[in-house]
């Protein structure tokens, strides 16, 4: 089964990123919802001529976080997208601190 993002998605992206040569950035944590978003965005980008840049934040709060970011990098490569891991170098516990760090990164 193939799922596709429709023309409304394309219009929305072009509103904020009108130049196809500039990469469209999408944040992917590695969870199932963001992995699904990555699949959809990669398919759309390939059909639309946009380059896709996948960003993953390694909060360094869990021992598995680097491996999870690497898994996202591998998925991005499989889908033909560039990937960059952003590392939070001053990790602190707490959802608010982590969210603030993601926004800064």
H-type alpha helices, the chain: 7-16, 32-48, 65-78, 95-104
CA distance 62 to 54: 21
More confident residue, 82 or 16: 82
Q: Is residue 3 pLDDT above 70, yes or no?
A: no
Tell me the average pLDDT across 62-70.
Answer: 90
Q: Is residue 82 pLDDT above 90, yes or no?
A: yes
Q: Which residue has the tokens 């909060």?
A: 59
Q: Which pTM does this prediction carry? A: 0.81
Question: What integer pLDDT is reported at residue 22 of this predicted model?
Answer: 84
Tell me the average pLDDT across 66-90.
Answer: 93
Question: What integer pLDDT is reported at residue 75 of this predicted model?
Answer: 96
């Amino acid at each position: 089964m193939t799922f596709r993002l429709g023309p409304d998605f394309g219009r929305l992206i072009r509103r904020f990123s009108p130049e196809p040569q500039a990469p469209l950035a999408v944040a992917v944590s590695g969870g199932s919802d963001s992995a699904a978003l990555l699949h959809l965005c990669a398919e759309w980008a390939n059909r639309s001529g946009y380059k896709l840049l996948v960003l993953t934040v390694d909060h360094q709060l869990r021992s598995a976080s680097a491996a999870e970011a690497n898994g996202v990098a591998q998925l991005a490569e499989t889908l033909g997208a560039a990937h960059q891991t952003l590392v939070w170098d001053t990790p602190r516990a707490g959802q608010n601190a982590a969210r603030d760090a993601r926004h800064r990164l």
